[in-house]
């Protein structure tokens, strides 16, 4: 978690100003851009952490580090791979607003995750015991929380709010399976066995800790006595300024084409779309705005590139008649013709192509050819229709990879008319669809940003989007 560089005499927490968003400094990079083979399980972007909620400032589950620290970590990964091991990160850069969020948690009633993360500790004692810092080294960009992976690791479980809580000091096979080797405890375990040199762990876990610590030390990472997972790279002591820019999707920072759709509010069925192209650090409009329609019940936060659990507004579910709000990649184009004027990958629709909306199927939220597969679904949508709605369309990567019940088969497609809503897609005039087909280029990493106007205005600066 955290190690303070100094124990502050003051009990004041740093509470960042939300009036103006801080920009990501040039020396801060996405770990995936440097070392894509390092696995990521960014816990504070989810509710599976000691607070029980996603922390403020974690707009996306991404690891960011200073460029030099990221390169050093990549060298650790290379060395471990040669031995048959690897790294998985739980946390990297942490905005100061997230540190303040941790502090707020200690002041409010309730212990939603005590059974798993701190069964024998009172949360008011986190600071005194050294498990949480009032000023975090994570906010300086060179501190990382991680673990060791390897061939004998149990497969990672998929966490849901319904998951049973198990004491983080329980035996390896009983506690939460994070996809890592036995390290003696789980991550964020506020207890004595989590101390780096604890004698309360078995020989296997002790050997795994030593292997991780040794590999990290060879590249200049220093551990912390209270937490076996916590390391700070000390290669550039000049980088000691705490930061508060939000963690946003890597794809958004590298996209050169955006389609931005806004509606008046969460329940409005009509919206406006505008294409944008990146020029340097800013986006500029491309072409004229055009009308679209969305779900018959409006919009709801969807499963895309951003964290949705901490936001105000509805959450999308299967069959709710809502189009997804958020940031989404664009997948394959499809249509009735054998070929199309588009640079996107293109799927000609035959009478046997279906989109599976049965959330119990292994093909849930996929376009499949039902004639070539053994069917394990009871519900799907036939894509070759008797009308023109799917004459041209584009798969919107909402809920990819699919989580059961979170919504499926979301497309751009041709509308029935400017006042006729969809069942959850975003539809438009055929001429506007043709222009999207010709304009979109997968090499430009195009994205869809779809939000009600008030949410767009609130998030625009934090996400680095253009003014509408």
Question: Quick check: is 242 in a domain?
Answer: no
Structure tokens at 209: 């800790």
Is residue 229 located within the same domain as residue 254? no
Model pTM score: 0.84
Are 46 and 307 a contacting pair, CB within 8 Å? yes
Last residue of a domain, one of 233, 264, 282: 233
Closest CA to 448 of 408, 440, 429: 440
Question: Quick check: is 60 in a domain?
Answer: yes
pLDDT in tens, 312-327: 899 999 999 999 999 9
Tokens 């005590």 label which residue? 114
Segment 147-174 shows an average pLDDT of 95
Question: Quick check: is 300 in a domain?
Answer: yes
Is residue 36 located within the same domain as residue 139? yes
Question: Quick check: is 132 in a domain?
Answer: yes
467 is catalytic: no
Confidence class of residue 310 from pLDDT cuts 50, 70 and 90? Answer: low
Is residue 216 located within the same domain as residue 254? no
Last residue of a domain, one of 206, 233, 260: 233
Spatial distance between the Cα atoms of 54 and 87, rounded to a whole number of angstroms: 23
Q: Which of 227, 251, 354, 397 is catalytic?
A: 227
Specify the pLDDT at position 106. Answer: 85
Domain that holds residue 396: 250-463
Question: Quick check: is 437 in a domain?
Answer: yes
Is residue 224 located within the same domain as residue 256? no
Is residue 87 within a helix (H) or strand (E), and if so which, with residue range? strand 86-91
Per cent of the chain over pLDDT 90 is 85
Specify the pLDDT at position 256. Answer: 97
If one counts the domains in the chain, the total is 2
Question: Quick check: is 325 in a domain?
Answer: yes
Which is more confidently placed, 124 or 366?
366
Is residue 216 located within the same domain as residue 283? no
Last residue of a domain, one of 200, 233, 266: 233
Question: Quick check: is 244 in a domain?
Answer: no
Is residue 130 located within the same domain as residue 178? yes
Is residue 407 located within the same domain as residue 322? yes
Class of residue 171 by CB neighbours under 10 A (exposed 0-12, middle 13-18, buried 19+): exposed
Is residue 61 located within the same domain as residue 184? yes
Question: Quick check: is 12 in a domain?
Answer: no
Segment 406-414 shows an average pLDDT of 98
Is residue 227 located within the same domain as residue 265? no
């Amino acid at each position: 978690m955290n190690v303070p560089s100094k124990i502050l005499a003051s009990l004041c927490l740093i509470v960042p100003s939300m009036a103006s968003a801080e920009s990501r400094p040039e020396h801060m990079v996405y770990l995936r851009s440097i070392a894509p083979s390092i696995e990521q399980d960014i816990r504070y972007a989810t509710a599976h952490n000691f607070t029980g909620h996603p922390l403020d400032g974690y707009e996306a589950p991404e690891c960011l580090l200073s460029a030099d620290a990221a390169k050093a970590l990549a060298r650790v990964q290379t060395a471990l791979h040669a031995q048959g091991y690897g790294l998985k990160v739980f946390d990297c850069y942490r905005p100061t607003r997230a540190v303040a969020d941790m502090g707020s948690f200690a002041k409010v009633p309730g212990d939603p995750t005590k059974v798993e993360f701190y069964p024998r500790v009172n949360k008011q004692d986190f600071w005194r015991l050294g498990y949480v810092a009032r000023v975090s080294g994570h906010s300086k960009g060179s501190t990382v929380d991680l673990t060791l992976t390897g061939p004998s690791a149990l497969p990672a479980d998929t966490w849901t709010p319904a998951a049973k809580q198990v004491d983080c000091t329980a035996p390896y096979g009983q506690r939460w399976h994070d996809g890592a080797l036995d390290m003696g405890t789980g991550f964020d375990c506020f207890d004595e066995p989590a101390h780096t040199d604890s004698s309360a762990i078995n020989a296997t876990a002790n050997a795994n800790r030593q292997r991780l610590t040794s590999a990290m030390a060879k590249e200049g990472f220093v551990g912390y006595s209270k937490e076996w997972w916590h390391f700070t790279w000390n290669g550039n002591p000049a980088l000691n300024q705490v930061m508060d820019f939000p963690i946003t999707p890597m794809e958004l920072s590298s996209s050169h084409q955006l389609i931005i759709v806004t509606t008046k509010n969460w329940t409005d069925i009509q919206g406006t779309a505008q294409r944008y192209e990146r020029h340097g650090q800013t986006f500029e409009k491309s072409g004229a705005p055009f009308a679209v329609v969305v779900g018959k019940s409006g919009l709801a936060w969807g499963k895309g590139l951003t964290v949705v659990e901490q936001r105000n507004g509805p959450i999308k579910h299967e069959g709710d008649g809502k189009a997804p709000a958020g940031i989404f990649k664009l997948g394959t184009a499809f249509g009735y013709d054998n070929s199309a004027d588009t640079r996107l990958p293109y799927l000609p629709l035959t009478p046997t192509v279906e989109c599976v909306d049965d959330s119990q199927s292994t093909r849930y939220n996929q376009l499949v050819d039902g004639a070539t597969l053994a069917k394990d679904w009871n519900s799907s949508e036939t894509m070759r229709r008797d009308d023109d709605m799917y004459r041209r369309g584009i798969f919107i990567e909402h809920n990819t990879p699919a989580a059961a019940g979170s919504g499926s088969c979301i497309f751009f497609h041709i509308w029935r008319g400017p006042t006729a809503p969809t069942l959850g897609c975003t539809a438009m005039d055929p001429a506007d669809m043709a222009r999207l087909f010709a304009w979109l280029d997968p090499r430009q990493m195009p994205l869809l940003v779809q939000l009600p106007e008030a949410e767009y205005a609130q998030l625009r600066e934090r996400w680095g989007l253009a003014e509408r």
